[in-house]
Structure 1
Amino acid sequence: MSAAALLKSGWRAALLPVALVVVAQVAATVSHLESDSLASPFDIARAFVSVIADGSLLRATADTLKAAAVGCVLGVGGGSFLGIVLGLSRIADDALDLTIELLRPIPVVALIPVVMMLLGFGVEMEIVIIALGLLWPAVVLARAAVKEVEPRLMEVSNMLQLSFIARLTKIVLPAILPQLFMSLKLAAGYGLVVAVTVEITANPLGLGYGIMMAQQALRPAEMFAYLIWIGAIGWLVSAALNAAQRNFFPAFVKGEGR
């Protein structure tokens, strides 16, 4: 897509948000809004500048992104490796299938009290929760990707009696790398959601904790500033990963579009 087309598409996409902001500001001005739960766009922008200036938003952002990034790497890395092993080994797949299907439906938020009892409050607890939340989706996607590898390639590896490591590095990984990147892209957005959820419910750090503090202090403008900032971070992360996917796996992206 050309730069002009991207610019035109970007303007069209911005029309609705801009219109909503204008309508909200007009409504707040006309009604002389004074509320402990709502705020005008102007007040939200002023609160955003304030939390940027005092450094609280940047510190909270660093805490959340650090936990989300480490948890994402651990969860997707460990889950992808386990999924590859299950995809390559029928024995391991049969042995662990029931266990995975029993553990996978457990909501990650239900694990917060358990992990908190083991690790207490802090970033380590948050990272473990994020990694556990991303583990099983990565297992399922990696196992499915391995099973879709061209059967003739697997037959050749059996004929050549390749070791597990050789089969993994020379055949499986090159074939499923685009799917693994897709798993990472999906996990990045979900990892941010889990991180903020943990911070709201259990961990006194990061953007989720900032939202809670603003809500408890009856500062709705600051609360909405944090919410909008979280959305902007998610959008930027998604845009960066989409750009990386287009650069490194263009054929895979074209295949998705068909």
Structure 2
Amino acid sequence: MIESIFRWLRPWWFPAIALGGFEWYARTVGKSSDALAPPTAAINAFLSAITDGSLFSATAFTLGAAAMGLLLAAVLGIASGIVLGLSKRTARMAFFSIEVFRPVPSVALIPLAMLIFGFGLRMEFSIVAFASFWPLMILTQAAVQQVEPRLLEVSHVLGLSPAQRAFKIILPAIVPRLFVAMRLGVSVALVVAVTVEVAANPNGMGYAMMIAQQSMDPGLMLAWLFWIGVVGYIINVAALSLERWVGRRMGVAA
């Protein structure tokens, strides 16, 4: 019993020591600093954000923008990846365009998106979609290229249409690799959404953290920073659970 408790507590030792050390430093050596706050102050600020509802509204906006952008990127990226993976000729024709636009930093599109959409949800999710599209497309293309050729031969023998081939042959064959692409896309979507809010969009968790910094409230700023990390962790755990569930349903080892 005791051994099980110690095994459960083992991953928390280092975070507990690090937080304790930071608490001591912020209350002693860094006591006069305007840029530091002890973790206990961050906890109090976090509880206040829960009480006044700002935590939930900002989180909902960021996750909504990230989800909408990721959904659009997934539809377009997976479809494009399947086409490019099946057709070498199309891949060669699209190579130059892809390699020109793919390296463009998503934040570089903020001025253009602001001109088109203004501030708000549409501006943010369009940039998220652009950033998430490329890894989803490229990883899907690579996954399709590694599909067993005999499966494609069977689809030709059966006379399946391109749509039937995609849904009945290609997608089931690339599900494990597709989940890897989706997990990467989720991470990119959340990072870009928060970055856009920090840089330009007056909404969401990134903007709330910037307001705390400009208000000289390091406790609240650290609380938002911690909460963004927690949200990312929860999303990743949910994605892993979904991947294992789908793998079991399809008879794929997870």
- Alignment match, 2:188: 190
- Alignment match, 2:117: 119
Structure 1 vs Structure 2: percent identity of aligned residues?
A: 43
**Correspondence for 1:11 among 9, 12, 15:** 9
Residue 249 of structure 1: SS of its match in structure 2?
helix
TM-score normalised per structure 1: 0.91
User: 1:165 & 1:100 partners in 2: Cα distance?
Assistant: 24
Pairwise CA distance, 1:35: 2.5
Pairwise CA distance, 1:159: 3.0
Q: What residue identity is the alignment partner of 1:142?
A: T
Pairwise CA distance, 1:162: 2.2
Q: What is the CA deviation profile of residues 79-113 of structure 1, one whole-angstrom value per residue up to 9, with x for unaligned ones?
A: 11111111122332221111111111111111111
- Alignment match, 1:245: 243
1:105 aligns with 2:103: yes
- Alignment match, 1:234: 232
- Alignment match, 2:76: 78
Deviates more, 1:21-30 or 1:149-158: 21-30
Deviates more, 1:35-44 or 1:124-133: 35-44
Pairwise CA distance, 1:119: 1.0
**Correspondence for 2:42 among 39, 44, 47:** 44
Pairwise CA distance, 1:253: 5.6
**Number of residue pairs matched by the alignment:** 250
User: 1:75 & 1:238 partners in 2: Cα distance?
Assistant: 18
Deviates more, 1:26-35 or 1:121-130: 26-35
User: 1:121 & 1:27 partners in 2: Cα distance?
Assistant: 40
Residue 147 of structure 2: SS of its match in structure 1?
coil
Residue 28 of structure 2: SS of its match in structure 1?
helix
1:75–1:135 CA contact under 8 A, matched in 2: yes
TM-score normalised per structure 2: 0.93
Pairwise CA distance, 1:167: 1.1
Pairwise CA distance, 1:32: 7.0
Pairwise CA distance, 1:12: 1.7
User: 2:90 & 2:11 partners in 1: Cα distance?
Assistant: 47
Moved over 6 A (4+): none
1:245–1:253 CA contact under 8 A, matched in 2: no
Q: What residue identity is the alignment partner of 2:15?
A: P
- Alignment match, 1:205: 203
Pairwise CA distance, 1:218: 0.5
